[in-house]
A and B are shown apart, each in its own frame.
Chain A
């Protein structure tokens, strides 16, 4: 039977009926209208459904929503709404680190978590952090460029990430 749980999504508390077999991804799509985390492989192999949970990028297709109570969850919608991360979104758009755009939120969310952890990533750091995100359009060579530029811009703007 569904149980009411409280989720913390993008800093906002939300009450939700969580059926035991519902994944976090399904709950985001069907119950919260957040469709930024995308359904691609649905088996944890492609990274398109990535969200950040307690600071770590994780796969929402492979998490039961009923196990998310008390966790801080960030989705692409939260990242997009935070002006602090505008440089990252801008860099992605500027460098065309996308084509059809379907996997892009998953990439961007993973990239955000990377910059959170290491504000000055190397190109190799970027490639390794995104090694589990699959892009069917083959935009891979463009991501590191975007992330490195974003990190640079964020560090120079008003004292960097902590500013």
Chain B
């Protein structure tokens, strides 16, 4: 064992203070903690160990107002031998006697037993050999490893999954994948729309960083999250009336949104959902912004954007298109007429690169917006595209599909650094576009005002040590590329000219509107901004998030609560995955049009069918901890409906277990279990506990079960989940009933209905089934004995 400080404390307060003040562990019986310290398996080794045994009076077992109260330091041997406990709280006495070994029961305390670390052998392997999710790692090794003793009812989410963390919108990806596996795309849709109102769009164009975060990448291929999102998005479009309903109750407040791009539309959705009157202004003919004008239809069909906009319209969002702010309406007027205004005007302006002959080149965005004008062979036979992002890919592919004979793409970045998503690069290459990474633009080669080509220079690095864009060139290395057209897709700038000369808003050093990161409010009260106008050119999903955050900021500013957003995320339920599905190593590949059928207007890829999406969702491991919490005591206390008293609160035994890192309980630093309070069983109610382990002593349970009968009947199964598992449906079946062979058997059957065990742990469901039955019969038998004694007495 490594060194630590040891503190004997005299009171709970003193202990709490010692524990709260830093990295400290508490020691009661010590039987669990010392092993954990010897094996050095915690994320951080405690600096101090606080001895609770020096606090007087915490080991009492007594009855108070008819309830049993057991101090947290009461030893298991004493509980097992207590006549009071054995008689009235039989399940607890039986559980206490079933723990570990006699000599351990002489040391181990009830509080320590409840708060023990789990027994998963991956978690326990010494020196932190497996950096599992309980320790802040990213993986539950049991999911794909040897899990014969692990959970059969699911896992516990520990912290946020990497996919969710990586998603700019923080979409609850694991949740909606679980809902997909559960065969409920409707629920999945709701989950996604909490974060993102347009999955049918983002699924098609997002670079999906979520997939880079997927833990499957460590062994095979990421779950194809975007494909699943797309199926859900299509599902939403099919049922759009249901998902874009006008708010049940409106408010008198009104918001104006300038710009109908992804940021504006996102904000419009969230604000309208909360009941605001929302008007969206856009200077173009159709709403959608970049979605409508810049992204080629073969990637994002226009009808999808139109469908989304029309759904918003049905929801009650007003669209004023062909309205240019600053020209048709002045910003001041908007700000005056509306309770708040959101500027989401994007980044549409051509930046100046500063090379000779630049004026002869074409701005990529203009090219994309104006594709129709290029239809008639204007594109020429040799085209050079400059840029390495998705826009550049779009430009290049579009040029190619317009009939350009040879399209070459040059970018500063090396192949690995290119900002475009891998799929887009792949698409470009598939279409025969030559990609030349690591080259910068030197000057346009011209003859009489006509483009002949471009001189390139070698780019040796793009960013400086601090990560700032600061390209360095090797001027000695140049080359000439022939081209008839040069399309510049090297970024877009923000245009704030609509504000006139006096913008009246604080700007950033880069000339963007400065907003609070949290609320998206500008320096002017009630005026908000989000999307590219605040960030510069970014991914569409970034704008969607910006729009959502702005909506939240506006609602907060207007003191309006969104009843939908306030919906509780549901009590910390157990998470599941599909043990069969996770074995599939290959990800779902989207169907695609054959090369010769591809065009500018038809979508290249084909949406997955719903069942394909479900199957892909089954590949998600649903990262969490899938251990089996091994306490015998907790199971019995759950069946007895016990409360756990800490120095700060009283909570039910069932809510004691959650997802804290390393530990097993939801207790906060400095929070100490001081007592266990068990309500007296009603007359005629009995309880029983049974344990199944390979050996009759020494072992932790493979499955245990405790039941109590009567009008508040409870059935709890242990060692089958990361926390004690209440079989609610079995409880309903036996509540208030006399126990018979028949209902006991039935209770066992339905108790395990929800189990989806690992293949190697399937036997646990059978054991749980039998233990529920036998425990009920044992409890029932006690009633019979009692009745017999009573009758005899009469």
Contact = CB atoms under 8 A, between A and B. Distances in A.
Direct A–B touching, Cβ under 8 Å: yes
B239 interface: no
Interface string B695-722: 0111000000000000000000000000
A63 B6 CA distance: 13
Interface stretch (A39-47, A81-89, A97-105): A39-47
B37 to A, nearest CB: 8
Contacts of A21: 1-4, 6, 37
Given A62-B31, A128-B102, A134-B698, A67 B107 contact: no
A64 interface: yes
A56 B106 contact: yes
Interface in A70-119: 110
Interface in A3-30: 19-21, 23
Contact of A42 (B6, B38, B104): B38
A129 interface: yes
B561 interface: no
A59 interface: yes
A62 B35 contact: yes
A57 interface: yes
B656 to A, nearest CB: 24
A58 B106 contact: yes
Given A20-B3, A42-B38, A62 B107 contact: yes
Nearest to B78: A56
A121 interface: no
A62 B30 contact: yes
Interface residues of A, number: 28
B5 A63 contact: no
A45 B108 CA distance: 13
Interface string B489-519: 0000000000000000000000000000000
Contacts of A128: 102
A132 B104 contact: yes
Given A56-B106, A131-B696, A132-B104, A67 B51 contact: yes
B666 interface: no
A120 B106 CA distance: 21
A131 B38 contact: no
A132 B27 contact: no
A19 to B, nearest CB: 8
A66 interface: yes
Nearest to A114: B102
Contact of A132 (B38, B39, B100): B100
Contacts of A57: 102-103, 106
B160 interface: no
B34 interface: yes
Kindly state the interface size class of chain B when it binds its partner. Answer: 20 to 34
A69 to B, nearest CB: 9
Interface string B98-117: 00111110110000000000
A56 B426 CA distance: 72
Contacts, number: 85
B77 interface: yes
A68 B32 CA distance: 18
B103 A58 contact: yes
B498 to A, nearest CB: 69
B27 A64 contact: yes
Contacts of B37: 21
A132 B31 contact: no
A58 B107 CA distance: 7
B698 A131 contact: yes
B384 interface: no
Nearest to A41: B35
A57 B1 CA distance: 23
B49 interface: yes
Contact of A20 (B6, B30, B77, B107): B6
Nearest to A23: B34
A45 B696 CA distance: 13
Contacts of B53: 67
A134 B698 CA distance: 9
A130 B27 CA distance: 26
B29 to A, nearest CB: 8
Contacts of A63: 30, 34, 107
Contacts of A134: 698
A20 B8 CA distance: 11
A43 B38 CA distance: 8
B5 A20 contact: yes
A8 B785 CA distance: 49
A19 B2 CA distance: 11
A45 B698 CA distance: 6
A63 B30 CA distance: 6
Contacts of B35: 43-44, 62
B557 to A, nearest CB: 54
B34 A66 contact: no
B104 A44 contact: yes
Contact of A131 (B1, B6, B102): B102
Given A20-B4, A42-B38, A64-B30, A59 B698 contact: no
A31 to B, nearest CB: 16
A71 to B, nearest CB: 10
Contacts of A50: 103
Contacts of A44: 31, 34-35, 100, 104
B464 to A, nearest CB: 48
B75 to A, nearest CB: 8
Given A20-B5, A57-B103, A58-B107, A131 B697 contact: yes
A59 B77 contact: no
Given A42-B38, A64-B6, A67-B53, A132 B101 contact: yes
A131 B31 CA distance: 17
A20 B25 CA distance: 13
A42 B34 CA distance: 10
Q: Pick from A19, A42, A64, A110 the residue with the most CB of B within 10 Å.
A: A64
B53 to A, nearest CB: 6
B31 A59 contact: yes
A39 to B, nearest CB: 12
Given A21-B1, A132-B697, A132-B698, A66 B6 contact: yes
A131 B97 CA distance: 12
Nearest to A43: B35
A63 B35 CA distance: 10
Nearest to B34: A62
A64 B52 CA distance: 13
A20 B1 CA distance: 10
A59 B103 contact: yes
A23 to B, nearest CB: 7
A47 B107 contact: no
A42 B103 CA distance: 14
Interface in B14-69: 27, 29-31, 34-35, 37-39, 49, 51, 53
Given A56-B107, A57-B106, 19 more contacts: A20-B6, A21-B2, A21-B4, A23-B1, A44-B31, A44-B35, A45-B101, A57-B102, A59-B31, A62-B31, A64-B49, A64-B51, A66-B6, A128-B102, A131-B697, A132-B101, A132-B697, A133-B101, A134-B698
Interface of B: 1-6, 8, 27, 29-31, 34-35, 37-39, 49, 51, 53, 77, 100-104, 106-107, 696-698
Closest 8 CB pairs of A and B: A132-B101, A20-B6, A131-B697, A56-B106, A21-B1, A43-B35, A57-B103, A44-B31
15 contacts: A20-B3, A20-B5, A21-B37, A58-B103, A59-B31, A62-B34, A62-B35, A63-B34, A63-B107, A64-B51, A66-B6, A67-B8, A110-B103, A131-B102, A131-B696
